[in-house]
Chains A and B, each alone.
Chain A
Amino acid sequence: MISTENNTIKNILASNGLDGDIGLWQRRLDQITKADVKRALDSVPGTYNINKLLALISPAAESYLEQMAQMSQSLTIQRFGRTMKLYAPLYLSSYCSNSCLYCGFNTQNKTERKRLTISQAIEEAKLLAEYGFSDVLLVSSEDKNFITVDYLTELAKKLKPMFSSISVEIYQMTEDEYKKLFCAGIEGVTLYQETYNRDAYRLYHRSGSKADFDNRLQSPDNFAAAGMREIGIGVLLGLADWRLETLALARHGHYLMKKYWKSRISFSFPRLRPASQVESSNFEHLIDTKSLTQMIIALRLCFADASLVLSTREPADIRNNLIKLGITKISAGSKTNPGGYADDKISIKQFQVNDNRSPAQIAQMIRTKGMEPVFKDWDKAFTKTD
């Protein structure tokens, strides 16, 4: 058997200088010419190689943004149709043992926190189901003693009659723990590396188990190996140079796609938002909308079938425009505090939502763009539960 020991994502990123050798990639980016960009645009749309992506995210590609956007739109329509999937997050807890400087749930923040009992979570879920959601994302901070594997499996089994798809965005688990979630009907996991730059990672993750970069990096392997159908990865934009983050994120995604070939990759690109005791102006790598757009389009032109997700961190006008350019899934009417759907006033939020339109308003906006809002694109019958 061929040894795959050296093919871990840790080694792949390190050997390519993608976990922090800013100088190397900065030089290469600066050397990209318009001819390189044109060559990248002439390649088969939707296929990945790192040099192509490098060209598409380069400063030289900025003058091709309109052409790239049109290619991205047409490729997305071909692969996903004139549709837009909708999901909603359900926050379970804001108690956290980590200290991440960009997050409202930072354990250092002296503020009121909340965690939902299973029956409280079900009450929130019922509201989401009434809005028409069929795809729910369970979100929790690292509150391991309360949001346990047993809590999540029990909740998932109770939610299953209400939703066709249940996924989680929670703290890192072992492969065995992820398997238990999968067997309870949870079919997707989203877990962001936040930043692929080791120095920046160390700077922003001060304590708690999340402070271990390599452990974090290994997690998508763990949940993909556990059988999860949807593998969500992403970077929090604002912590390090977006271009280098995009290169590392794409390389990670490509690695996961080839290794866990039965699962679908989704990419997210949240921009840092103000939160309780978090001033976004303190972050030097915040990116403008033009760069965010270039990132989204470049990823689409390298990954024809990846799900590209946009949350309510982005304001309404930007979301209205970006959903035409390659995005395939968006959240709507989100509350980022546990219990927020029943009572928005209670407890702190993970971040301030930037698009406060209701799910019905979002669905209507999607229709006016000539697309069908899709609430259901999965079936609970796929996942066999114990």
Chain B
Amino acid sequence: MEKLCIADRQFDSRLLVGTGKFASNQIMSQAIEAAGSEIVTVALRRVDIENPDDDMLAHIDRDKYLLLPNTSGARDADEAVRLSKLARAATGIKWVKLEVTPDPYYLLPDPIETLKAAEILVNEGFIVLPYINADPILAKKLEDVGTATVMPLASPIGSNQGLKTRAALEIIIEQANVPVVVDAGLGLPSHAAEAMEIGADAVLVNTAIAIAAEPVQMAIAFKKAVQAGRLAYLAGAAAQSKQANASSPLTGFLRND
């Protein structure tokens, strides 16, 4: 299968995973491995990025995975930019998953502050993967300022509700010139498969794996679903239709010519 290309890097896996909410760092580490992921995101608020002995970071093999720091908890552009710069200074990683979520309950992304932060970070040489609501215009504006992807949400983060924003996601996918990574709200492997079937380039999953009774098994299930969804997309799924199309009531007469 063709590779996923983000910025200057190529990836075989189209399943990105998050590291929050796991019962232990050992289980998290096993789940990442089982998911076959190559990109692993960590919340800068949860780790001591300057400390090489940080327990969570110690469980993520940097030779194997691209560590993608995220700015979860940032309330505005200033905070997100400050956090990103500190992380880069401490680790040398210039990739950042930009999250600006002023509301601490649904953690919905602030479009205005996200765009503002993205522009600053891109100009400072970061590779920016912004978490956004499924807003096609915002996606294009972010692409215009130079983000490496867009990461629209399927439904509110942690809600496991699946593709509530499907109609808007389809427009984003249709219009995008950068990879579209569907992020947040994918609660079941079938949700991930659906996102891939409609043409998403990748998906990001955290809660559904982390809080499953068997996180490793669930990670495998998501891995397979993402692969199946991608294959289905490439295979050119037959279009659905509400009407039966067996006959040609309007043009049938032409056959007599």
Contacts and interface: CB of A to CB of B under 8 A. Distances in A.
B64 interface: no
Interface of B: 20-25, 44-48, 73-75, 78-79, 82-83, 86, 102-105, 158, 160, 207, 210-211
Given A81-B22, A372-B23, A372-B25, A381 B82 contact: yes
Contacts of B104: 229, 262-264, 305
Contacts, number: 76
B210 A381 contact: no
B73 A305 contact: no
Contacts of A378: 45, 73
Contacts of A77: 21, 211
- Pick the 6 closest A-B CB pairs, nearest first: A81-B21, A82-B23, A264-B104, A305-B105, A379-B45, A262-B102
Contacts of A304: 105
Contacts of B79: 381-382, 384
A291 interface: no
| Chain A at the B interface: SS class | loop
Given A78-B211, A82-B211, A382 B23 contact: no
A78 B213 CA distance: 12
A281 B78 CA distance: 52
A381 B211 contact: no
Given A81-B210, A382-B73, A382-B74, A257 B23 contact: no
A78 B158 contact: yes
Contacts of B21: 77, 80-83
Nearest to B20: A81
Interface of A: 77-83, 134, 164, 229, 257, 261-264, 304-305, 367, 370-372, 374, 376-379, 381-382, 384
Given A257-B105, A262-B102, A376 B46 contact: yes
A81 B24 CA distance: 10
Nearest to A79: B158
B210 to A, nearest CB: 6
Contacts of B46: 374, 376-377
Contacts of A82: 21-23, 210-211
A6 B160 CA distance: 39
Counting chain B CB atoms within 10 Å of each CB, the highest count among A134, A257, A379 belongs to A379
Contacts of B22: 81-83, 372
Contacts of B210: 81-82
12 contacts: A81-B21, A81-B207, A82-B23, A83-B23, A164-B48, A262-B75, A264-B105, A305-B105, A376-B46, A378-B73, A381-B86, A382-B73
Given A264-B104, A376-B48, A379-B44, A384 B82 contact: yes
